[in-house]
Structure 1
Amino acid sequence: MDSKKPYYRVSLSEQALNHEKLMRAIVKNLADTPMVLKGGTALYLGYGLNRFSEDLDFDCHKKINLLGRV
């Protein structure tokens, strides 16, 4: 990824901004698990892709118990 490339933020409504805050909080809360965030949200949150995704896609190589984590 070219670090000199300008970062363009998607223009979001207040509802979408709240949705993004919630997604960021969930991802942060699960950061110590063996799961990997993937898909559009990973590209949006991690790499600044100019697109908004409404869901969180995770992948994991084993079963884990997330009760009480989200």
Structure 2
Amino acid sequence: MNNEQPNNPLHGIKLAEIMEFLVDYYGWETLGEKIKINSFNSNPSIKSSLTFLRKTPWAREKVEQLYLKTKSK
């Protein structure tokens, strides 16, 4: 069975990998300015952000879109 998803650019990329990339690229302060999420601005950590993003589809979508936009630069 073929598990490839050619139309899904995020296939095979874990949310933790996305967050680590964005934090390395932007830093917490800039990331918090770009996406208004409390876990990015108040005592930020990868763990707390992942917990929030897994429970909040709209926030996860914003993070994924920022990742795709940033990776395409």
TM-score using structure 2 length: 0.31
- Give the structure, 1 or 2, with the largest relative contact order (CA under 8 Å, sep 6 or more): 1
Greater Rg by CA = 1
More helix by share: 2
TM-score using structure 1 length: 0.32
More strand by share: 1
